[in-house]
C-alpha cells in the first residue's frame, strides 16, 4: 500500500489497449496501478516498487510467460498474491498455477470476476498483515454506481474471512 | 358199483356142504371168487378116485411158480413144485410152455406117474373193450381157440391191457391109467378153468372200475382246484360240469342282485356263442371272452380254449373249455404296445432334432466342439475337426495335438469353474494358414439330472477378420478426432486473435459506462450485451484449442471424477446435490480432453437448468454387444432441472440453438455431439419439461 493508503497493483499485458483498459478499470476502483507492456518492464518495476498484488498476462513478448514475472515478484515478496490472465491456459498451466498459489482468470474475463478476484486477493493478503489495520483508512474512490462499486477494494477487515 | 364186502357171504360154507352131493359142474359153481376154484377142483379130482392132486400158480411179475393148493399131497414133497418159468429143464415148466396136458411117468418130481394139465385164461366171448372196438383181438378168445401157441410171458391182452393167469393142475395117476379116466379128469379141469376165467374177468373189471373211481375222484379234485374256469358242456352247450372258478361266472348264486343275475345270463350267452363259433370254425378253438365277475362285479378278459370230448364209441359227446384270465396279460400287452409306440414317436422326434441340430452345426461357419466332463472331444463340426481331428480319434499331426492340449486345458478350467458360460480368448494353430490365430471361445455347459456337468459346448470365433475391421475403425476414428482437434485449434487460434482486441473492447465499454449520456443508454446496452455474447463464443472456441491431446486408453470414470472436482464449487454454489454411480469400466481409447469438455458442457448445462438447485446424477456402465468385441461404455447424466421444450429436442444439437437465451452460445451441445460422433459414439437425450433431462452417451471401447 502506498502513502495515500492505496493498494499497489502491478498489471502486465503485451497488448497495449488491453493493458490500458485494465489500468483504467483498476484505477477506477481506487488502486494505485503500475502497468507494464513487457516482462522486462515488469521486472524492473518490481525492483523499484513494492506491490500488493500482481495481475499478469500469461503469454508475453518473445515467449516470455507470466510465470517469470510472478517468480521475480515472489523472490522479493514471497507472499505476494498473483493472478494469471490468459486466453488459453492448458490444464498443465492451470495445474502449475494452482500448485504455486496463483489464480487463473480466463480471457475474456467478466469484469465482475476480474474485480472480485482482485479484491479478494488483496483482502486475504491484508489480513495476514495486521499492522496496517486501523491506520490506513484510504477508501478506494468509487465514482461508479451499483454493484461494481460495492465489489471494490474497500477493506472490510472486521467482516472478512480469517485466514486459516 | 359193487363193493368188496358183498362177496364175503357168511353162509357160503354151509351152502357148499348142502350141495356136496351135486354133480361137479354145479359144485364148482359154488365158487364166487377165483381163489375158491382150486380147492373145489382138487376135491372133485379126489372124488374121481385119484390119490392126490395139487395146483401150481405162475406169478407173471416174478416168473415164480409156486404150489397154490394141494390135497393129500405130502407137504414135504410140495417143495419140488416150486420153480420158475425160466427153469426150462424142469418137467413142470416144459409142460407149461407147451400149454398142453401131459402124463409124466418117470420124473424126479414124484415117485408115481403124474398128470400135468396147464390152464390158461381163456374165454369164448370177447371182453368188453374188444367187444366195443370190435376189430380188436381179445387174448381170452385167442387162448380159447388156441389159434397159436402163446408164450407165457406174452399173456397180456393187447386190447384191454389185462394180464392173464396161468396155472397147472398136477394129479397123481395110476400106472397105465385108463384113457377114459384121464379124459374125465381133463374135462373136469377144463370146466373148472372156464369158471375160473369168468370169475377172473369179473374181478378184472371190478378192479378196473375201482381204479377208475379213484381216477375220477382225482380228476375232480384237480378240476376243482384249478384257478381257471373249466367247463364241460354237452353238444347243445348245456353245462354238464364246471369247477368253482367257473361257477363264479356262470352259476347264479342264491343271493344276488338283479344286475349280477343279468351279468351271469350274459356270461352264459357269450360263452355259448363263443362255443358255437368255435364249433363252426372247426380248427380255431381259441376265443377271447369278456365276462363279468358275478362276485366282484368287475369285467375280466378270458381266453377260452375248447377241446371236444368223445364218448367210448368215438362220437363227440361234449366240449371241455378251459378259460385263462388274460385281463392283466392283455392290459400289460396293451401298455407295452402303447409304450412301444410312444418310444418310437420319441425316437423320431429325437432323430429329427438331431438332424436339425447337425444341419445347424454344419452351417454355423464357426468351429464347434462338444466335450465330455473329462474335457475329451466327443463331437466336432467339419471346421473344428480341421483344428482338433475327429472325435474319439488320436490327433493326426502335431498341430492338432497342440490344439487339443490347448483346448483341453481351457475346457477343464471351464468345466470346474462355477460359471455356466464363458467367453475367453484361445490361441490355436490354424493348419491351413500355418499360423497362430486368436479365437474367441464361447462355451456353455450342459448339465445332467444330478446337476453335474455332462458336456460343454464351445463355439470358436476367428477374431482375425473382426480385429482387422476393428483396427480400421479405430484408425478412422482417430483421424476424425484429430481432424476435429485441428479444426478446434484453428478456431482457437482465430479466437485467440479475436480475444485480445475483444478484451480491450469489452473493458472499454465498461469504462464508458459512467460517462454515457442517458439518451445513448439503449445503444450502450446493445453494445455491451452483444460484446459479451462475442466474448462467450470466443471463450467456447478457445476451449476447443485445449483439446489437442493424443488419443489413448483412459478410464472414463476418471474423467467424470476430474470434471466433477473441477466443477464442484460451482455446483455447490448452485445448491446442487451430486450423486455418482460409477460401474467397473474397461479403458476406452478416447481423447480424454474432448470427453472432459463433453462432460463439463453437459454438467454445466444441467447446472444452468436447475437455477433453484436440484439433483445431478452421473452413472457409468460397461455393457457388451454382439457387434463389437469390447462392448461400450455408457454415461448417463441426469438432472432435475427445467427440461428441454419438446419442440426443441430435434434441433438441440444444431449450432447456435440454445435454451439459455442471451446467456448461451448454442455451441455447447453442437460441440458435444461432434466429439461423440468422432469417437464413434452415440448421443441421445430424454427430457420432460419441469421434471428434468437425461443425456445418454455411448462410447465404443476400442483397443489399440
Say yes or no: B545 contacts chain A, CB-CB below 8 A.
yes
Mean pLDDT of B525-538: 82
Give CA–CA dist B139/B157, Å, rounded: 5
What tens digit of pLDDT does each residue of B9-51 get? 445 555 555 545 567 788 888 888 888 899 999 999 998 889 9
Global pTM value: 0.37
Give CA–CA dist B328/B343, Å, rounded: 22
What tens digit of pLDDT does each residue of B427-453 get? 888 877 778 888 888 899 888 888 888
Across the interface, whether the CB atoms of B501 and A87 are under 8 A apart is answered no
Q: Is residue B467 part of a domain?
A: no
Contacts of residue A26 in chain B, CB cutoff 8 Å?
A: none
Instruction: Using CB atoms, pick whichever of A108, A143, A144 lies closest to residue B499.
Output: A108
Query: Grid coordinates 396293451 are at which residue?
Result: B334
Closest CA to B645 of B663, B634, B629, B659: B659
Q: Is residue B484 part of a domain?
A: no
Q: Do B600 and B554 reside in the same domain of the chain?
A: yes
Q: What is the chain B residue with the closest CA to A89?
A: B546
Q: Do B691 and B627 reside in the same domain of the chain?
A: yes
Interface of A with B (CB under 8 A): 15, 17-18, 20-22, 24-25, 28, 87-88, 90-91, 106-109, 111, 143-145
Across the interface, whether the CB atoms of A18 and B500 are under 8 A apart is answered yes
Omega of the bond leading into A143 within 30 degrees of 0 (cis)? no
Does residue B598 contact residue B488 with C-beta atoms inside 8 Å? no
3-class secondary-structure state, position B513: helix
Q: What is the DSSP string of B105-158?
A: SS-SS-SS-EEEEEEE---SSPPHHHHHHSSS--HHHHHHHT-S---GGG-B-T
- Predicted confidence (pLDDT) at residue B212 exceeds the cutoff of 80: yes
Evaluated on CA atoms B196, B198, B204, B210, the torsion sign reads negative
Give CA–CA dist B300/B696, Å, rounded: 78
Q: Is residue B685 part of a domain?
A: yes
Length of chain A: 164
Does residue A18 contact residue B507 with C-beta atoms inside 8 Å? yes
CA B397 and chain centroid, separation: 43
Q: Do B181 and B235 reside in the same domain of the chain?
A: no
Q: Do B206 and B231 reside in the same domain of the chain?
A: no
- What percent of chain A is modeled with pLDDT above 90? 5
Confidence of residue B52 (pLDDT cuts 50, 70, 90): very high
Q: Do B405 and B452 reside in the same domain of the chain?
A: yes
Top-confidence residue, B180 or B487? B180
Mean pLDDT of B257-273: 82
Task: Give the pLDDT confidence score for residue B585 in this predicted structure.
Answer: 87
Q: How many domains does chain B have?
A: 4
What's the N-to-C CA distance of chain A in angstroms?
A: 23
- Predicted confidence (pLDDT) at residue B206 exceeds the cutoff of 70: yes
Q: What are phi and psi of A2, to 5 degrees?
A: -90, -175
Q: Is residue B12 part of a domain?
A: yes
Does residue A66 contact residue A103 with C-beta atoms inside 8 Å? no
Q: Do B616 and B675 reside in the same domain of the chain?
A: yes
Q: Is residue B508 part of a domain?
A: no
- Predicted confidence (pLDDT) at residue B5 exceeds the cutoff of 60: no
Rounded to a whole number, what is the distance in Å from the CA of B546 to chain A's nearest CA?
Answer: 6
Give CA–CA dist B123/B196, Å, rounded: 10
Q: Do B233 and B206 reside in the same domain of the chain?
A: no
Rounded to a whole number, what is the distance in Å from the CA of A17 to chain B's nearest CA?
Answer: 6
CATH value at residue B574: 3.30.565.10
| Last residue in a domain, options B175, B210, B245 | B210
Q: What is the chain A residue with the closest CA to B592?
A: A91
Q: Do B173 and B312 reside in the same domain of the chain?
A: no
Segments forming the whole domain that contains residue B314: 227-325
DSSP A113: H
Contacts of residue B492 in chain A, CB cutoff 8 Å?
A: 88
Q: Do B563 and B657 reside in the same domain of the chain?
A: yes
What tens digit of pLDDT does each residue of B498-516 get? 888 888 898 888 888 878 8
Q: What is the chain A residue with the closest CA to B548?
A: A90
Q: What is the chain A residue with the closest CA to B503?
A: A108
Say yes or no: B704 contacts chain A, CB-CB below 8 A.
no
Q: What is the dihedral of CA B505, B507, B513, B519, to 10 degrees?
A: 10
Top-confidence residue, B415 or A141? B415
Task: Give the pLDDT confidence score for residue B3 in this predicted structure.
Answer: 42
Give the lowest-confidence range in A100-109, B10-19, B393-402, B614-623. Answer: B10-19
DSSP B162: -
The pLDDT mean for chain A works out to 74
CATH value at residue B294: 3.30.450.20
Top-confidence residue, B252 or B53? B53
Give CA–CA dist B58/B95, Å, rounded: 13
Segment holding B429, helix H or strand E: strand B421-430
Q: What are phi and psi of B590, to 5 degrees?
A: -145, 170
Q: Do B357 and B315 reside in the same domain of the chain?
A: no
Cβ-Cβ pairs closer than 8 A, A with B, add up to 60
Q: What is the chain A residue with the closest CA to B596?
A: A91
Q: Do B316 and B361 reside in the same domain of the chain?
A: no
Domain A8-150 has CATH 3.40.50.2300: yes
- Predicted confidence (pLDDT) at residue B214 exceeds the cutoff of 90: yes
10 Å CB burial of residue B254 (0-12, 13-18, 19+) is exposed
Q: Do B572 and B690 reside in the same domain of the chain?
A: yes
List for chain B the helix, strand, coil content (%; round to 5): 50, 25, 30
Q: Is residue B397 part of a domain?
A: yes
Instruction: Using CB atoms, pick whichever of B495, B507, B546 lies closest to residue A21.
Output: B507
Say yes or no: B546 contacts chain A, CB-CB below 8 A.
yes
| Last residue in a domain, options B460, B488, B508 | B460
Query: Grid coordinates 414133497 are at which residue?
Result: B77
Strand ordering across the sheet containing A53-57? A32-36, A8-12, A53-57, A82-86, A102-106
Amino acid at each position: 500500500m502506498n502513502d495515500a493508503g492505496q493498494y499497489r497493483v502491478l498489471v502486465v499485458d503485451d497488448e497495449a489497449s488491453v493493458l490500458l483498459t485494465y489500468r483504467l478499470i483498476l484505477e477506477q476502483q481506487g488502486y494505485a496501478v503500475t502497468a507494464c507492456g513487457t516482462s522486462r518492464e515488469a521486472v524492473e518495476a518490481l525492483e523499484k516498487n513494492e506491490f500488493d498484488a500482481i495481475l499478469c498476462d500469461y503469454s508475453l513478448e518473445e515467449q516470455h510467460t507470466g510465470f517469470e514475472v510472478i517468480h521475480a515478484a515472489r523472490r522479493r515478496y514471497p507472499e505476494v498474491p498473483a493472478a494469471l490472465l490468459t486466453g488459453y491456459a492448458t490444464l498443465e498451466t492451470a495445474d502449475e498455477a494452482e500448485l504455486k498459489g496463483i489464480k487463473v482468470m480466463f480471457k475474456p474475463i467478466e469484469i465482475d470476476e476480474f474485480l472480485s478476484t482482485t479484491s479478494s486477493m488483496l483482502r486475504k493478503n491484508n489480513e495476514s498483515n495486521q499492522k496496517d489495520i486501523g491506520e490506513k483508512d484510504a477508501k478506494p474512490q468509487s465514482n461508479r454506481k451499483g454493484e461494481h462499486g460495492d465489489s471494490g477494494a474497500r477493506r472490510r477487515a472486521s467482516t472478512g474471512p480469517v485466514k486459516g | 358199483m359193487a363193493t368188496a364186502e358183498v362177496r364175503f357171504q357168511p353162509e357160503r360154507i354151509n351152502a357148499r356142504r348142502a350141495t356136496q352131493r351135486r354133480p361137479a359142474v354145479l359144485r364148482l359153481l359154488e365158487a364166487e371168487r377165483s381163489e375158491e376154484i382150486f380147492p373145489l377142483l382138487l376135491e372133485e379130482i379126489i372124488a374121481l378116485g385119484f390119490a392126490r392132486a395139487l395146483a401150481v400158480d405162475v406169478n407173471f411179475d416174478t416168473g415164480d411158480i409156486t404150489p397154490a393148493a394141494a390135497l393129500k399131497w405130502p407137504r414135504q414133497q410140495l417143495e419140488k413144485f416150486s420153480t420158475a418159468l425160466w427153469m426150462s429143464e424142469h418137467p413142470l415148466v416144459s409142460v407149461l410152455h407147451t400149454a398142453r396136458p401131459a402124463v409124466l411117468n418117470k420124473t424126479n418130481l414124484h415117485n408115481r406117474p403124474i398128470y400135468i394139465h396147464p390152464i390158461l385164461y381163456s374165454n369164448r366171448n370177447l371182453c368188453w373193450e374188444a367187444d366195443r372196438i370190435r376189430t380188436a383181438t381179445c387174448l381170452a378168445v385167442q387162448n380159447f381157440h388156441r389159434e397159436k401157441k402163446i408164450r407165457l410171458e406174452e399173456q397180456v391182452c393187447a386190447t384191454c391191457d389185462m394180464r392173464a393167469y396161468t396155472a397147472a393142475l398136477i394129479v397123481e395117476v395110476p400106472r397105465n391109467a385108463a384113457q377114459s379116466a384121464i379124459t374125465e379128469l381133463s374135462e373136469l379141469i377144463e370146466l373148472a378153468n372156464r369158471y375160473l376165467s369168468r370169475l377172473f374177468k369179473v374181478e378184472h373189471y371190478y378192479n378196473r372200475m375201482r381204479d377208475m373211481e379213484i381216477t375220477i375222484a382225482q380228476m375232480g379234485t384237480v378240476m376243482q382246484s384249478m384257478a381257471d374256469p373249466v367247463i364241460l358242456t354237452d353238444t347243445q352247450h348245456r353245462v354238464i360240469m364246471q369247477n368253482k372258478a367257473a361257477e363264479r361266472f356262470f352259476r347264479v348264486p342264491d343271493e344276488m342282485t338283479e344286475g349280477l343275475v343279468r351279468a351271469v345270463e350274459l356270461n352264459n350267452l357269450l360263452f355259448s356263442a363263443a362255443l358255437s363259433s368255435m364249433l363252426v370254425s372247426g380248427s380255431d378253438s381259441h376265443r377271447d371272452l369278456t365276462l363279468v365277475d358275478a362276485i366282484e362285479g368287475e369285467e375280466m378278459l378270458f381266453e377260452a380254449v375248447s377241446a371236444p370230448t368223445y364218448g367210448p364209441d368215438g362220437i363227440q359227446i361234449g366240449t371241455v373249455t378251459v378259460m385263462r384270465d388274460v385281463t392283466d396279460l392283455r392290459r400289460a400287452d396293451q401298455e407295452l404296445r402303447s409304450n412301444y409306440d410312444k418310444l418310437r414317436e420319441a425316437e423320431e422326434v429325437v432323430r429329427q432334432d438331431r438332424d436339425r441340430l447337425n444341419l445347424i452345426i454344419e452351417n454355423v461357419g464357426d468351429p464347434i466342439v462338444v466335450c465330455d466332463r473329462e474335457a475329451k472331444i466327443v463331437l466336432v463340426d467339419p471346421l473344428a475337426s480341421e483344428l482338433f481331428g475327429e472325435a474319439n480319434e488320436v490327433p493326426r499331426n502335431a498341430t492338432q495335438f497342440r490344439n487339443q492340449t490347448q483346448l483341453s486345458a481351457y475346457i477343464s478350467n471351464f468345466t470346474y469353474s462355477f460359471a455356466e458360460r464363458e467367453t475367453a480368448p484361445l490361441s490355436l494353430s490354424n493348419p491351413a494358414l500355418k499360423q497362430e490365430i486368436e479365437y474367441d471361445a464361447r462355451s456353455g455347459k450342459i448339465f445332467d439330472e444330478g446337476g453335474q456337468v455332462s458336456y460343454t459346448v464351445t463355439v470358436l470365433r476367428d477374431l482375425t477378420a473382426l480385429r482387422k475391421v476393428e483396427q480400421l475403425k479405430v484408425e478412422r476414428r482417430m483421424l476424425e478426432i484429430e481432424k476435429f482437434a485441428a479444426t478446434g485449434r484453428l478456431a482457437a487460434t482465430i479466437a485467440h486473435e479475436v480475444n485480445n482486441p475483444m478484451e480491450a473492447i469489452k473493458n472499454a465499454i465498461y469504462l464508458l459506462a459512467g460517462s454515457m449520456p442517458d439518451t445513448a443508454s439503449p445503444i450502450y446496452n446493445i453494445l455491451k450485451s452483444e460484446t459479451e455474447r462475442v466474448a462467450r463464443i470466443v471463450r467456447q472456441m478457445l476451449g476447443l484449442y485445449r483439446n489437442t491431446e493424443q488419443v489413448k486408453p483412459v478410464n472414463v470414470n476418471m474423467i467424470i471424477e476430474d470434471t466433477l472436482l473441477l466443477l464442484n464449487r460451482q455446483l455447490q454454489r448452485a445448491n446442487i446435490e451430486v450423486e455418482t454411480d460409477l460401474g467397473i469400466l474397461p479403458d476406452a481409447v478416447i481423447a480424454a480432453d474432448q470427453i472432459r469438455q463433453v462432460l463439463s458442457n453437459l454438467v454445466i448445462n444441467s447446472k444452468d437448468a436447475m437455477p433453484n438447485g436440484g439433483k445431478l446424477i452421473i452413472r457409468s456402465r460397461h455393457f457388451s454387444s454382439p457387434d463389437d468385441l469390447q462392448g461400450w461404455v455408457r454415461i448417463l447424466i441426469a438432472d432435475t432441472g427445467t427440461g428441454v421444450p419438446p419442440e426443441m429436442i430435434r434441433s438441440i444439437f444444431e449450432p447456435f440453438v440454445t435454451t439459455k437465451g442471451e446467456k448461451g452460445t448454442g455451441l455447447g451441445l453442437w460441440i458435444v455431439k461432434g466429439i461423440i460422433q468422432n469417437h464413434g459414439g452415440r448421443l441421445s437425450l430424454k427430457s420432460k419439461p419441469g421434471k428434468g433431462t437425461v443425456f445418454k452417451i455411448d462410447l465404443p471401447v476400442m483397443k489399440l
